[in-house]
Amino acid sequence: MQSVLKLTKIRYHNTVVSFRSWWLRFKSSALHQMSRTRKGAHPQPQTTEQPPPPPKDNGPIEVLVFGSINMDYITYLNELPKPGETLQAMYREQCFGGKGANQCMAAAKLGANCALIAKLGQDDLGSIYYEYLQQMGINTDYVEQLEGVETGIAQINVDDNAENTIVVLPGANQRLNSKDVSAAKKLFKTAKVLLCQLETNHKAVLCALKLFKGVSILNAAPAMKDMPPELIQAASILCVNEVEAAQLTDREDIKTLQDAKAAAGELLEKGAQSVIITMGALGAVHLSQSDPKYCIHCPAAPVRYLADTSGAGDAFLGSLAYHILRFPNLNPESHIYAANICAAYSVGHRGTQPSFPGSEIAQDDLCHIYPNFCVIPEETEEEATLRKKQETEAAKAKETETAAKPEAAPAPVAAATPEPEPTPAPVAVAEEPPTAAAPVPAPALVPTPNPILAASPEQAPMRGSIATPRTSSNQTAQPKRVSLDTREVAATMPAARVAQRATEVAAAMVSSQATQRTKEVTAHVVPGRIMHKPRKVQVQKRPIPNRK
């Protein structure tokens, strides 16, 4: 009896497990997502959200993050709205965000022991976020909730091409100051990697960078044109994207690897120790003071499905800090290569923190893979001259576009300048009659009159022609008191009419011959059904032998 009960329990457990696995596969299938979107619900994309791990008390803090915390409201649309335009969204998500919290979560998911120094509001969003950080195993000893202040909020709009626009309301993040840095001196002594951003007070960020003695990474986002050089010089690694690098170096944009190399060189001249410029699909560019001659390009990792680019930069920075911590003896190109793989994984999933890879996806052996990178060659003289020409042409085109609007009024003055030159008029008229008189006998080649000639252009003046009296003998007779331009048109008018008549007559003859030929051919064609009649085939049945 007991054996029967055991067998039934085992079978029941197996059926429940199989049903659960089937239900999970069905929820993540494309058919189920399509049916949900038709009803107006969220498609429930497959994410990498891990079950909350137990709180970490296994040793000192390894990665310290001094930054912001925001609650992200992500809205998905077909296209981003233009100024003054109202669009209807497909659906909306609420995610935990903020550059500081995102980078801390990206490093913690990979397996680092992380701590966060930040400010929250004493409201519902702040309490929910605080509990979430504790559940994910992040040290929250220096995450403070303030009264009378709201938690930071970020509104993110994402279109079908995974492009986004972000608007941030800082809230409690503005209250983070240098006193919080001095209060967490123990963490600054034990941590090995520090991550900072510019969403908080810049003086507090500078104080944190100066106090830290390990590897410090500054993400200069959002960028400033008048960024103090002390911030650039205080960090071990300055990491920016192409837009932020263009703002820091007073450039219009950075589109090519040569532009990124030049911008990285300018940032080194301003005092940066090492520069990393992320360029999206082009990968990343690295340049350091140790080897300023060699600018390294690390191409981006392949992306199977482009879902959402929000949070990709934070995934890159968090994984960069993690791999610098775990593999300090490897070259920076290996760290950047591993960070590119984690960023590519994040781009293929929706959301910010739910899209970050975990320890089972981005294993520790990413840095041991031979990294794919190359040295950006220096510009030759020809390439430099071509680039300068293109820049000058673009600048001239912009100047002409801007100058064309005020110069539109004095245009008639330039048209009246050829009036004081009447002397060359008789020379131009005397040279043209022989050219116009030569093709006059061309219509005599037509053997018979054609009805098409009744609608010849002689009955109506051509476009741009002048109605002048004709003579029977000479086609180039000019009217009296006509300006220079009208004389030239009248002299060349007969030649153009003769050529047009000749082409029309030739086309009419060819078309008439073609139609006559088709009529003759169709008269002698015999239908195929009459020529080939079906024949009856007599089939003789063969006797089947009897097999005994």
141 annotated among ligand-binding-site residues? no
Is 253 known to be catalytic?
A: no
278 annotated among ligand-binding-site residues? yes
**Residue 158: which region, alpha, beta or left (left: phi > 0; alpha: psi -120 to 50)?**
beta
308 annotated among ligand-binding-site residues? yes
431 annotated among ligand-binding-site residues? no
Largest Cα–Cα separation, the chain: 129
- Gyration radius of the chain's alpha carbons: 40
CA separation for the pair 136, 127 (Å, rounded): 14
CA separation for the pair 505, 443 (Å, rounded): 9
Q: What is the DSSP string of 208-276?
A: HHHH--SEEEEE--S--TT--HHHHHH-SEEEEEHHHHHHHTT-S---SHHHHHHHHHHHHHTT-SEEE
| Given the residues 57, 259, 314, 365, the one annotated as active site | 314
User: HEC states along 483-515?
Assistant: CHHHHHHHHHHHHHHHHHHHHHHHHHHHHHHHH
280 annotated among ligand-binding-site residues? yes
100 annotated among ligand-binding-site residues? yes
- Closest C-alpha among 272, 217, 219 to residue 244: 219
Q: What is the DSSP string of 116-184?
A: EEEEEESSHHHHHHHHHHHHTT-EEEEEEEETT-PPEEEEEEE-TTS-EEEEEE-GGGGG--HHHHHHT
492 annotated among ligand-binding-site residues? no
150 annotated among ligand-binding-site residues? no
- Closest C-alpha among 228, 177, 234 to residue 200: 177
71 annotated among ligand-binding-site residues? yes
101 annotated among ligand-binding-site residues? yes
3-class DSSP state of 468:
coil
For the chain, what is the total number of helices (H) and then of strands (E)?
A: 18, 14
Contact 321, 217 (CB under 8 A): yes
346 annotated among ligand-binding-site residues? yes
421 annotated among ligand-binding-site residues? no
70 annotated among ligand-binding-site residues? yes
3-class DSSP state of 374:
strand
72 annotated among ligand-binding-site residues? yes
124 annotated among ligand-binding-site residues? no
- Catalytic positions are 314
Q: Which residues are annotated as a binding site?
A: 70-72, 98-102, 199, 241, 278-283, 308, 310, 313-314, 340, 346, 349, 351, 355
Q: Which residues are annotated as a binding site for substrate?
A: 70-72, 98-102, 199, 314
Q: Which residues are annotated as a binding site for K(+)?
A: 308, 310, 346, 349, 351, 355
Q: Which residues are annotated as a binding site for ATP?
A: 241, 278-283, 313-314, 340
